[in-house]
Amino acid sequence: MLSIDLTGKRAFVAGVADDNGYGWAIARALAAAGASVCVGTWPPVLGIFQRLREKGRLDFSLDGGGEWSIEKVYPMDAVFDTPEDVPEDLHDDKRYRGLSGFTIQEVADAMASDFGSPAIDVLVHSLANGPEVSKPLIDTSRAGYLAALSTSAYSLVSMVRRFGPIMRPGGAVVSLTYLAGERVIPGYGGGMSSAKSALEGDTRTLAYEAGRRHGVRVNTISAGPLASRAAKAIGSIGNMVEYYEVNAALPACQTADDVGRAAAFLCSPLAAGITGETLHVDMGYHAMGMVAEDQLGSDGD
């Protein structure tokens, strides 16, 4: 039987802070396929995440029974590439107090120290943030626009650059994008649409460069909307989900697990010939050119 088997592989999933987002679903799918999973969590929410984990309030269940576990949690702030990039006053921020080693390079170094090098086979970028996402693009400040690109797009470049040397040849990188990188999605502002466009373009270029330099594949998943905690920053997220449920080619909205399983496939030997791809996991919504037929009226006019 053909199956996804990641036994003996190690994954690092950046951007996990709770158990209801795409990052968690991807981590769970990778674990279900047999991989050991480490996660990177944004320092300001690390304490909450760790407490939820310790109190057993995170859902580690697997379909069909059993549970998975996190091998190790690393604090990671993808805005900073190296320790030199961290401003001095950040160390006085109570959310970062007592923390160190949270830049992208330091996390890569820590994993190499913890597990040897090469240390990982799978690298997942589940990171996005736009401080002005609720603003139309035309009203977005330069600082807000650049912040969206830094966290949501350049961080992938930095992660591939710094984790690539500790990845085993044949490994895979997967990130998450959204249809706003291709088409206009009203309400998805603050430069986030530009960041997703950049992420998709960078995926193609990194597929070539990282493929030749490190022998790894780089793909991205264009997932439909999900009413996760992180997505609440988009005020219209509920309306977006409802619109997909009515107008997608399959009349539903994809689940987090749909995306998790697609990511596991892309990271597996079954996808050995796929790189530089943007895979849509949105119940076919991206293929639609107008609203669904039943929205046009009973006479079809």
Whole-number pLDDT of residue 297: 54
CATH superfamily of 10-287: NAD(P)-binding Rossmann-like Domain (3.40.50.720)
Whole-prediction pTM value?
A: 0.94
Residue whose token pair is 């609440």: 232
Domain ranges of the chain: 10-287
Q: If pLDDT is split at 50, 70 and 90, which confidence band does 116 have?
A: very high
Strand order in the sheet with 36-41: 72-75, 36-41, 10-14, 120-125, 167-177, 217-223, 278-281
As a whole number, mean pLDDT of residues 179-201 equals 96
Q: If pLDDT is split at 50, 70 and 90, which confidence band does 253 have?
A: confident
pLDDT digits (tens, 9 = 90+) for 22-75: 999 999 999 999 999 999 999 999 999 999 999 999 999 999 899 999 999 999
Residue whose token pair is 């697609």: 262
Whole-number pLDDT of residue 296: 54
Whole-number pLDDT of residue 239: 82
Rounded to a whole number of angstroms, the CA Rg of the chain reads 19
Q: If pLDDT is split at 50, 70 and 90, which confidence band does 234 have?
A: low
| 56 CB neighbour count, 10 Å cutoff | 8
pLDDT at 235 over 60: no
Whole-number pLDDT of residue 294: 62
Whole-number pLDDT of residue 91: 84
- DSSP helix/strand/coil, 172: strand
Whole-number pLDDT of residue 292: 81
Whole-number pLDDT of residue 121: 98
**H-run or E-run covering 173:** strand 167-177
* Residue % of the chain over a pLDDT of 90: 84
pLDDT digits (tens, 9 = 90+) for 53-66: 999 999 999 998 99
Please identify which of the residues 188, 208, 243, 285 carries the catalytic annotation: 188
Whole-number pLDDT of residue 178: 96
* Residue 184: half-sphere exposure toward Cβ, Cα within 13 Å: 3
Q: Which of 202, 213, 204 is nearest to 275 (CA)?
A: 204
Catalytic site residue 145? Answer: no
- Alpha carbon distance 127, 32 (integer Å): 22
Supply the mean pLDDT for the chain.
93
As a whole number, mean pLDDT of residues 93-113 equals 95
* Residue % of the chain over a pLDDT of 70: 94
Whole-number pLDDT of residue 47: 95
As a whole number, mean pLDDT of residues 233-251 equals 80
pLDDT at 117 over 70: yes
- DSSP helix/strand/coil, 46: helix
pLDDT at 228 over 60: no
Whole-number pLDDT of residue 90: 93
Catalytic site residue 188? Answer: yes
Whole-number pLDDT of residue 295: 57
As a whole number, mean pLDDT of residues 152-176 equals 98
Please identify which of the residues 22, 74, 154, 178 carries the catalytic annotation: 178
